[in-house]
């Protein structure tokens, strides 16, 4: 096993752990805003690690660049979608969950 494969394995496994954490967050967090956070961020980090892990396995430069392009596109996609969902939820009056009883401004 060479050093490239080792790097690849480490990044891929860390990425998979982030995906698991994102899913756990999605199931456990109390309201749509916190769930959005779990999904949009932790999963994005998971995808980031997966992409970097695969970069080490890429047979040629063009493929590596394409993976980076896909990753960047997905980052922009997640950010846009989560903003739209959160804004729409606010407009529809989905009340954010609070740890203690507070008055929402």
Partner 1 sequence: MILILRTTLWRSMFFTGVWWILIQGKTDTWFVGLISISLALVTSFILLPPNQYRFSFSGFAHFLIYFFASSLKGGIAVAWMAIRPNPDLHPNIYKITPRLPEGLGRVILANTINLLPGSLSVELTSSNLYVHVLDERQSIETEVRSIEEKIAHMLRLELKN
Partner 2 sequence: MNSLNQLLAVFILATLSIALVRVARGPTTADRLLAALLFSTSGVAILLLLAFIEETLILLDVALIFSLLAVISGVVFAQRAWRTKEEKNEYS
Residues lying near partner 1 in the complex (CB under 8 A) are found at 17-18, 21-22, 24-25, 28-31, 33-34, 36-38, 40-42, 44-45, 48, 62-63, 65-66, 69, 75-76, 78-80, 82-83, 86-87, 89-90, 96-99, 102, 104-105
Residue 2 and residue 83: Cα distance in Å, rounded? 42
Among 78, 1, 21, 18, which Cα is nearest to 52's? 18
Radius of gyration of the chain (CA): 18
Residue 53 and residue 36: Cα distance in Å, rounded? 25
List the interface residues with partner 2, window 28-87 (CB under 8 A).
32, 35-36, 39-40, 43-44, 46-47, 50-51, 54, 57, 63, 66-67, 69-70, 73-74, 76-78, 80-82, 84-85, 87
**Residue 7 binding partner 2, by CB under 8 A:** no
Q: Is the Cβ of residue 9 or residue 16 nearer to partner 1 in the bound state? A: 16
Among 4, 15, 20, 16, which Cα is nearest to 64's? 4
């Amino acid at each position: 096993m060479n050093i490239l494969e080792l790097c690849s394995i480490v990044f891929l496994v860390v990425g998979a752990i982030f995906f698991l954490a994102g899913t756990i967050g999605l199931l456990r967090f109390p309201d749509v805003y916190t769930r959005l956070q779990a999904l949009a961020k932790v999963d994005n980090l998971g995808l980031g690690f997966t992409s970097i892990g695969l970069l080490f396995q890429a047979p040629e430069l063009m493929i590596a660049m394409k993976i980076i392009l896909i990753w960047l596109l997905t980052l922009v996609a997640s950010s846009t979608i989560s903003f739209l969902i959160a804004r729409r939820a606010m407009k529809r009056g989905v009340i954010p969950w609070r740890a203690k009883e507070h008055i929402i401004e």
